[in-house]
Amino acid sequence: MNDVNELLKEKLTAENYSRLMALGNAKLHEFVADAIELAEPASVYVCTDSDEDRAYIRELAIKNGEEIALNSAGHTCHFDGYYDQARDKAKTKYLEASSSDLGESLNSVEKSAGVEEVRSLLKDSMAGREVLVLFFCLGPVDSEFSIPCVQITDSPYVAHSETILYRPGYEQFRKIGASGAFFRFLHSEGELENAVSKNIDNRRVYIDLEENIVYSVNTQYGGNTIGLKKLALRLAINKASGEGWLAEHMFVMGAHGPGGRVTYFAGAFPSACGKTSTSMIPGQTIIGDDIAYLRKINGQMRSVNVEKGIFGIIRDVNSTDDPVIYEALTSPCEVIFSNVLIGKDNKPNWLGMGAELPAEGINHSGKWRKGKTDADGNEITASHKNARYCLSIEDLKNMDPLMDDPDGVPVGGIIYGGRDSDTWVPVEQAFNWAEGIILKGASLESETTAATLGAEGVRTFNLMSNLDFLSIPLGRYIQNNLDFAEGVKNPPLVFSVNYFLKDEDGKYLNGMGDKLVWILWAELRVNGDAEGLDTPTGVIPKYEDLARLFKENLDADYTREDYVRQFTVRIPKNLAKLDRVEKIYKEKVADTPAILFETFAEVRKRLKEAAEKYGDNISPLDLTA
- Segment 30-45 shows an average pLDDT of 97
Q: How confident is the model at residue 27 (pLDDT cuts 50, 70, 90)?
A: very high
pTM of the model: 0.95
Whole-number pLDDT of residue 102:
66
Side-chain-facing half-sphere of 466: CA atoms under 13 Å: 28
Share of the chain above pLDDT 90, in %: 90
**Distance in Å from the first CA to the final CA of the chain:** 77
Which domains are seen in the chain, by residue range?
2-65+88-243 (3.40.449.10), 247-308+403-624 (3.90.228.20), 311-395 (2.170.8.10)
**Rounded alpha-carbon distances, angstroms, from residue 309 to 66, 163, 182, 229, 374:** 20, 9, 21, 11, 33
Could you confirm whether 273 is annotated as catalytic?
A: yes
Residue 457 has pLDDT above 90, yes or no: no
Q: How confident is the model at residue 451 (pLDDT cuts 50, 70, 90)?
A: very low
Whole-number pLDDT of residue 107:
86
What pLDDT, in 10s, does the model give residues 471-522? 999 999 999 999 999 999 999 999 999 999 999 999 999 988 899 999 999 9
Residues in the chain: 625
Residue 259 has pLDDT above 80, yes or no: yes
Query: In the 8-state DSSP scheme, what is residue 502?
Result: B
- Residue 441 CA to residue 252 CA, distance in Å, equals 16
Residue 452 has pLDDT above 60, yes or no: no
Whole-number pLDDT of residue 625:
52
What pLDDT, in 10s, does the model give residues 64-87? 999 999 999 999 999 999 999 888
Higher pLDDT, 98 or 299: 299
Identified catalytic residue from 47, 77, 149, 273: 273
Whole-number pLDDT of residue 624:
72
The whole-chain average pLDDT of the chain stands at 94
Residue 1 has pLDDT above 90, yes or no: no
Whole-number pLDDT of residue 240:
98
